[in-house]
Amino acid sequence: MDSLADLQDPAIFERNRLPPRAYFLPDSDHCQLLSGTWKFNYSSTPAHALALDSSSKWDNIQVPGMWQLQGYGAPQYTNVKFPFPVDPPFVPTENPTGTYERTFTIPDVWSGSHIRVRFEGADSAFHILINGRQVGYSQGSRNAAEFDITPFVHAGTNTIRVRVYQWCDGSYIEDQDQWWLSGIFRDVYVLSWPTKARIEDFKCETAFVGEGYGDAELSTTLDILAKTDATVKMKLYDGKMIIGKDEIEVSVSQMHLPKTSTIAVQAPKHWTAETPYLYTLVITISADNSTLQTITQKIGFRQVEMLDGLISVNGSPIHFRGVNRHDHHPSHGRTVPLDFTRRDLLLMKMHNINAVRTSHYPNDPRFYVMCDELGFWVIDECDLECHGFDDAVVRPIDIEDKLRDQHPGLLEEGNWWAIHDKRQDIVFGEATKYTSDNPEWEAAYVERMKQLVHRDRNHACVIIWSLGNESFFGQNHVKMAEWAKEYDSTRLVHYEGDKGGEVVDMWSYMYAPIQFLEERSKEEGWKRSIILCEYSHAMGNGPGALEEYQEAFRNNKRLQGGFVWEWANHGLLTKNEKGEEYFGYGGDFGEKVHDGNFVMDGLLFSDHTPQPGLLEYKKVIEPVKCQLLDDGKVEVTNYYDFISLDHLVAEWKVTKCDLGEKKEVEVGSGFVEIPEINARESGDIEVPYRTEGSTDSSLYLALTFRNKHDTIWAPKGFEVAWFQAELNEPTLRSLVPVQAQPASELSVQETALSITISGQTFDISFDRVYGALTSWTSHGQSILANDGSPKLGFWRAPTDNDIPGDAKHWTLFGLDMMTQQVRSVELKYGADKATILVKSWVSPPILAWGFKVTQTYEIHSSGLVMIENILTPRGSVPKSLPRIGLDVLLSKDYVDATWHGRGRGESYPDKKTAAKFGVHNKPVSELYTRYEKPQESGNRTDTHWLELYTKSGLLSSARKLTARIREHPFDFTALHYTPEQLTAAKHPYDLKPMKEVNLCLNAKVHGLGTESCGPGVLEKYILKCEPTQFTVEFFPQ
């Protein structure tokens, strides 16, 4: 065979590979794991690999693993674009090739057995040799490949050589928004099978019979190869008890014999993502009074169908609270340890996630075993994406000119979704011609679907097959769907690219705006529900508006939920030139073609610890929601799809947050009985709280719902959901305690250049030229750092969601370089108060817009400092602002923070549902969120007051600075970085924390949105450039 030609022929995707089958392995006596250390040669081309001889250099490498992460070549990340010239099916001449070799032993007891070698995954294609003889070829990186090596092996020591190619024609349809990494990345096995008689494959299907989803049948189709008479026995266990059995007699034959067994089961427990109850099917085949083979398979009784246009399981509609998940590990790439995957799934369960889309390929086969056990709805996706043809079509043309010609006014309107839709109309027709609508690729497309379905079909968790991702739509998708529906009628078919609904069972969208979804959900006579296979792009600081999406899902039955993009960042652990570790993204490994940090777009950091976005998602999708009623009762709504709330206990607590006490005080607490509330129903509970006697302190009622018992994914007492409501509207108290009122009068001195104001405990200097408070000491300690004058603040370090649109607009309007021109400074003072009135013009260079600003500084003899800010925009103003606030650079002595508001983590106007009200404490050093690409972070919203503390020393006592915005709750950040430092940094190691504290007290903050890939900030969260007035109060003690 011409092995190099195999790499560039879409009709050749295997040679001698056995047909795909359900995943199961023989027992340990008949299964050898070949993972471990192999010999390895890295060649620049396949031709060089073919020319290896005794003088060639061999190293050691670990299998499974990616060779770029073991010192050979370099990782490369692209989202859409192909990293090689687009000329399918041809691949680059420089096609790095890894040759793997090791020995293995065939034991004497395997003599006469049928022997196979199985690869669970190798990227992107490979040839295999046993004892120097060609065995076969395979491509389809995330699919298993199995070969019959019986004629090639002998008892004793044997040698296996595997030649793996970085590129093959299959690479054109594996362009899946991930790192391009190569090698044998999943386990390799040598398997021994009986030759007298064996089960080659089996297919299990469950179905309910009669009415009411009560009794059921388990149907098992077996592919049997027998050379002698044999008996197949089927036993279904519930724990240790046999609840059903069947027996099949097999007569002698040299051919595969499909046999079907049916076991009737009375009222089995239903499998759902909420009740993942599993039975155990044991299949044995025996001959001549000897058991030849035993297979064990977990069985979940569930039935998937479309009922009244809705995706339904066991007769009930379901709602996806899902995520997209890549197989990725920060050190090993797609070689993901099993315990790492399990931790992922446990973390999902603990954050109320009930569904996973295996974007964009079949995951490790053991992943599905765990999903069966833990309870997840799975959209299982075919190993198929060719998104790069989009760039191949778009780059040579001016897409904006075409849009203007065909759709006048569209770009000017700025409707992201409409532009996205019309762009697809222009591009996809051409892009699909390369492979998706090319009959030369039909067999390759359909084979990938067969590989997916055959391997994973026996898993209850898999309820939907997906034809792949972002591969446009063509006749090859039609063929895939036709085969899948004919072979497996028990599941639904999904594909977002089927815009006309030709083959799919539901409508699926990516990043659709809420308004569009709500409008579609109300169409007359609809027959198919809607899901979002991707939404709320979780890149960097975000996503915003999760609560609004979930509200739309809750209120419109046609909207059956979605899958956040995505579960985790894909950073690769590496080091900079100084040896500092960090998580690298596109461009960090010397690659010219890349898509930057777009690979950092998950709810988890790259080390798979939660980002703030995951905490927000858990709260938003929690299955129990509450509302405080006018009569004081609490309405509890159960958003589970199947179960009641009897597995939970509810605990209530009332707390008081007092400005004077600066702490949270428990007023009352206890447990409350949860009435019987079935799925999708509501009920009221009475909580015995009291609110009397509190007028100047905030009172909060909190309800917490916890596991009543230990579960497989969380212990007894684990918090599943919580609710909080403010019970009163406290009166505004002065920041100055009565005992702090001084007896002495103010001392005021002024010159042409400065003003100095002194009280019993403080000294303040004011620069008349610059209209700025330049020095401030209290109790002998400096409050401000050098150049720490309070200044109006507008800029924030752009988040990943700001960068595509808002940040460009803000930079265009100069919001990153605002300046102040002082027009006048006036001083008035008496015995107990000095007032400085500053009028100025705040604007950027180059441009003619800005703010007419009036600032009134009031310095009281008590030490209270109030700064009233009145801003009136003038000229051609920007459509939005990052923020409006007052920035102060504080002394390095301030190290701890206490505040009353939302916390403890960061929160923003459209990302705050998970942030509880209360009195929170944190070191200033922990108020920053260390995103893997630095950006705006650490904001706390809806704050009532903030205190910053110094540490006590040998010669000084601890001091504090209390601050707030008087008119309304405010936002703040207190960081050891400025917005400018965060803007300039590309990685965390670029940031060197300053000792001083950059305090930003913001009257208003722009939302986050999801414009890194999707809709921007919702209208109600846009910070518009409008007249603004706010008063900042400081009181040092």
Cβ neighbours around 696 below 10 Å, total:
12
Does the pLDDT value for residue 658 go beyond 90? no
- Residues 274 and 592: their CA atoms lie apart, in Å, by 47
In 3D space, the residue among 599, 495, 534 whose CA is nearest the CA of residue 181 turns out to be 599
Inter-residue contact 127 to 162 (CB < 8 Å): yes
pLDDT tens profile 558-577: 999 999 999 999 999 999 99
DSSP assignment of 65-105: S-GGGGTSS--EEESSS-SS---TT---S---EEEEEEEEE
DSSP assignment of 489-505: TTSEEE-TT-TT-SS-S
In 478-610, the DSSP E strands lie at 492-494, 507-510, 530-535, 559-564, 572-575, 581-584
- Residues 103 and 563: their CA atoms lie apart, in Å, by 44
The band of 953, judged by pLDDT with boundaries at 50, 70 and 90, is low
- Residues 241 and 200: their CA atoms lie apart, in Å, by 27
Compute the average pLDDT of residues 822-840.
Answer: 96
- Residues 409 and 432: their CA atoms lie apart, in Å, by 28
- Lookup: tokens for 259: 């046999």
Q: Which CATH architecture has domain 354-505?
A: Alpha-Beta Barrel (3.20)
pLDDT tens profile 263-309: 999 999 999 999 999 999 999 999 999 999 999 999 999 999 999 99
414-423, 530-539, 782-791, 892-901: least confident range: 414-423
DSSP assignment of 719-779: EEEEEEEE---PPPPPSS-GGG--SSPPEEEE-SSEEEEE-SSEEEEEETTTTEEEEEEET
- Lookup: tokens for 438: 């090319």
pLDDT tens profile 488-520: 999 999 999 999 999 999 999 999 999 999 999
Peptide bond into 647 cis (omega under 30): no
Cβ neighbours around 787 below 10 Å, total:
10
- Percent of the chain scored above 70 by pLDDT? 98
Query: How confident is the model at residue 739, as a pLDDT?
Result: 58
Amino acid at 496: E
Query: How confident is the model at residue 692, as a pLDDT?
Result: 65
β-pairing, 462-466 vs 377-381, is parallel
CATH of span 327-333+507-622: 3.20.20.80
CA 352 to chain centre: 13
Whether 645-726 and 197-304 are alike in CATH topology: the answer is yes
- Residues 815 and 148: their CA atoms lie apart, in Å, by 67
DSSP assignment of 106-129: E-GGGTTSEEEEEES-EESEEEEE
Amino acid at 987: H
pLDDT tens profile 704-731: 999 999 999 999 999 999 999 999 888 7
Query: How confident is the model at residue 792, as a pLDDT?
Result: 98
Q: Angle 365-374/442-456 helices, nearest 10 degrees? A: 40
What does the buried/exposed string (b/e) look like for 431-451 if buried means 16 or more CB atoms within 10 Å of the residue's CB?
A: bbebbbbbeebbebbbbbbbb
Burial class (CB in 10 A: 0-12, 13-18, 19+), 328: buried
Cβ neighbours around 172 below 10 Å, total:
25
CATH T-level fold of 645-726: Immunoglobulin-like (2.60.40)
Query: Hey, where are the domains in the chain?
Result: 5-193, 197-304, 327-333+507-622, 354-505, 645-726, 738-1036
Does the pLDDT value for residue 664 go beyond 90? no
Query: How confident is the model at residue 956, as a pLDDT?
Result: 64
Peptide bond into 957 cis (omega under 30): no
Compute the average pLDDT of residues 461-490.
Answer: 98
Inter-residue contact 307 to 315 (CB < 8 Å): yes
- Place domain 5-193 in its CATH homologous superfamily: Galactose-binding domain-like (2.60.120.260)
Query: How confident is the model at residue 255, as a pLDDT?
Result: 64
CATH T-level fold of 197-304: Immunoglobulin-like (2.60.40)
Amino acid at 935: Q
Compute the average pLDDT of residues 342-364.
Answer: 98
**Which residues are known catalytic residues?**
470, 534
- Lookup: tokens for 889: 């650079």
pLDDT tens profile 215-236: 999 999 999 999 999 999 999 9
Domain 738-1036 has CATH 1.10.3720.10: no
